[in-house]
């Protein structure tokens, strides 16, 4: 390690916490907008409700999407903090984007299972059936695509911003 690195000269610039927070806020807004648009357009194209089972009620679908958004936000925040702490904000971004997408998908499926189990009376095995059907249905695919595209854009922006900080 050279003295330039220790004294701050020649070290790679990093985005500040405020820049990371602003980028994350924009990414979450973009995620929400893309999710609403994607689910709405897909619902019209497929001529089907997002949650087709009427026993689920009106609250379970939005709860599943909200859980997906919260999981996306927490995972992206954790990855950003870790990358900044390790001074690796200019590193590759496909890995963190895949992890963020996977966590968001798992949260979507878990809330489908837990919400059905808690709020819909009947056989508990129906919760497993509902969660599995939600996991392989088109709304999950839309949310996975939205999460991946948004995560790639977010982490790519952080990498670009790191290289272009004045």
- In tens, the pLDDT along 83-95 reads 777 766 556 778 8
- In tens, the pLDDT along 102-149 reads 999 999 999 999 999 998 888 888 999 999 999 999 999 999 999 999
- Alpha-carbon distance of 56 to 88, in angstroms, equals 44
Q: Is residue 64 part of a domain?
A: yes
Decide which of 68 and 158 is more confident.
68
pLDDT at 20: 83
How many domains in the chain? 1
What's the domain range around 107? 16-163
Q: Is residue 128 part of a domain?
A: yes
Model pTM?
0.84
C-alpha closest to that of 159 among 19, 30, 25: 19
Q: Is residue 28 part of a domain?
A: yes
Q: Is residue 119 part of a domain?
A: yes
- Alpha-carbon distance of 46 to 23, in angstroms, equals 33
């Amino acid at each position: 390690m050279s003295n330039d690195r220790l004294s701050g000269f020649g070290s790679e610039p990093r985005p500040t916490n405020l820049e990371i927070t602003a980028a994350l806020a924009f990414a979450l807004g973009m995620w929400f907008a893309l999710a609403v648009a994607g689910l709405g357009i897909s619902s019209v194209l497929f001529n089907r409700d997002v949650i087709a089972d009427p026993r689920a009620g009106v609250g379970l679908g939005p709860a599943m999407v909200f859980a997906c958004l919260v999981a996306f936000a927490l995972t992206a925040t954790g990855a950003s903090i870790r990358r900044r702490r390790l001074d690796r904000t200019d590193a590759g971004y496909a890995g963190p984007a895949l992890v963020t997408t996977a966590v968001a998908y798992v949260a979507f499926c878990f809330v489908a299972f837990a919400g059905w189990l808690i709020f819909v009376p009947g056989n508990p095995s129906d919760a497993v059936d509902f969660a599995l059907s939600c996991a392989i249905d088109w709304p999950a695919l839309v949310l996975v695509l939205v999460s991946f595209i948004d995560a790639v854009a977010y982490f790519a922006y952080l990498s670009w911003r790191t290289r272009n900080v004045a």
